[in-house]
């Protein structure tokens, strides 16, 4: 499947009783945003008010799916919960308020359910111990769990077209790579190693050594920095396409980019080791990133700007990953 094929699937039919479900869905989505996504929550505050509600519900759906894979329970129990969630998404089972709200939002924006189902496919990957073989497998996972969110967000913002979708995909890929580097220690504690085997091997270690706690720290940090370099290239391509986004929403998306990217920049600048835990960006730096985002949003409004191109090798890897998603 190509990077954009999932957006061509049919949108859901008009769901029932949206009026009763919608306020609760928005409330739950906003609560999840405030509690579990501080940087993204800050960025969404810059979006137009009606869009904030839609984004909150979109985030709520994605958060619920991710939490079902992360909560301590049996694999069978988590798989059953994700199956139930997908049944609610498809209208096969009676949906809880948040999912009913998501279905209503998807209907309003003519948003196909394909990206949401692809996201669930990616989340199911996390139910087992995870070891990623190479960059194609890594970016394929990132596409499923994060780039799909970018495609859904484009529909909420009223953005379409292959170039705009490519930029949204790359923003999602970059953000997920940042998350992976930030969460190296926590993921390893849960039996998950997203640092690709071939990159670890090039530095003399392996996913198995990471799980055993014996991987050399310099090797792990070296691979983490390599992934952050990939993320930076993808962020740059995504940012060059901000002009596709309506002007009123552009500062919010630019803020999401700058806030997320700053996690990786700070890891590199401070010499932080991912095995020592999560890097947290302080408020003062976040405030500066918001100022940068405003300037970036204005800069991308200049006429004649077109998205930059990815390095050829990264483009080939990215396309292969998305084609298999």
Predicted TM-score (pTM) of the model is: 0.92
Q: E-assigned strands of 11-144?
A: 130-131
Q: How far is it, in rounded angstroms, from Cα 47 to Cα 42? A: 10
pLDDT, tens only, 14-71: 665 556 789 999 999 999 998 988 888 888 888 888 899 999 999 999 999 999 988 7
Domain 5-323 has CATH 1.10.600.10: yes
Rounded Cα distance, 90 and 112, in Å: 11
d(Cα 254, Cα 252) in Å, to the nearest integer? Answer: 5
Taking only the tens place, the pLDDT of each residue in 206-239 is 999 999 999 999 999 999 999 999 999 999 999 9
| Residue range 109-143, pLDDT digits in tens | 999 999 999 999 999 999 988 889 999 999 999 99
Q: Within 13 Å, how many C-alpha atoms sit on residue 67's CB side?
A: 10
């Amino acid at each position: 499947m190509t990077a954009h094929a999932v957006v061509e699937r049919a949108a859901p039919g008009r769901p029932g009783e949206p009026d009763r479900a919608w306020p609760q869905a928005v409330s739950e989505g906003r609560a999840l945003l405030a509690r579990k996504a501080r940087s993204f929550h800050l960025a969404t505050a810059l979006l137009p008010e009606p869009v904030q509600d839609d984004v909150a519900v979109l985030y709520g759906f994605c958060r619920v799916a991710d939490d079902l894979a992360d909560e301590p329970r049996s694999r069978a129990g988590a798989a059953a919960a994700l199956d139930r969630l997908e049944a609610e998404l498809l209208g096969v089972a009676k949906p809880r308020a948040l999912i009913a709200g998501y279905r209503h939002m998807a209907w309003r924006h003519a948003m196909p359910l394909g990206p949401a189902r692809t996201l669930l496919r990616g989340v199911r990957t996390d139910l087992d111990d995870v070891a990623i073989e190479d960059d194609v497998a890594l970016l394929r996972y990132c596409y499923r769990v994060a780039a799909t969110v970018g495609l859904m967000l484009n529909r909420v913002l009223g953005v379409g077209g292959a170039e705009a979708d490519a930029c949204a995909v790359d923003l999602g890929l970059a953000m997920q790579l940042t998350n992976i580097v930030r969460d190296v220690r926590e993921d390893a504690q849960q039996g998950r190693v997203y640092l690709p085997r071939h990159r670890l091997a090039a530095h003399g270690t392996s996913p198995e050594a990471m799980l055993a706690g014996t991987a050399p720290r310099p090797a792990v940090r070296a691979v983490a920095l390599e992934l952050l370099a990939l993320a930076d290239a993808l962020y740059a391509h995504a940012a060059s396409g901000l002009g596709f986004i309506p002007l009123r929403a552009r500062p919010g998306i630019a803020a999401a980019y700058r806030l997320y990217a700053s996690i990786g920049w700070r890891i590199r600048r401070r010499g932080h080791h991912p095995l020592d835990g999560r890097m947290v960006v302080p408020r003062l730096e976040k405030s500066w990133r918001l100022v940068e985002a405003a300037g970036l949003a204005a800069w991308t409004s200049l006429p004649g700007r077109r998205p930059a191109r990815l390095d050829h090798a990264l483009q080939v890897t990215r396309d292969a990953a998305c084609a298999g998603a």
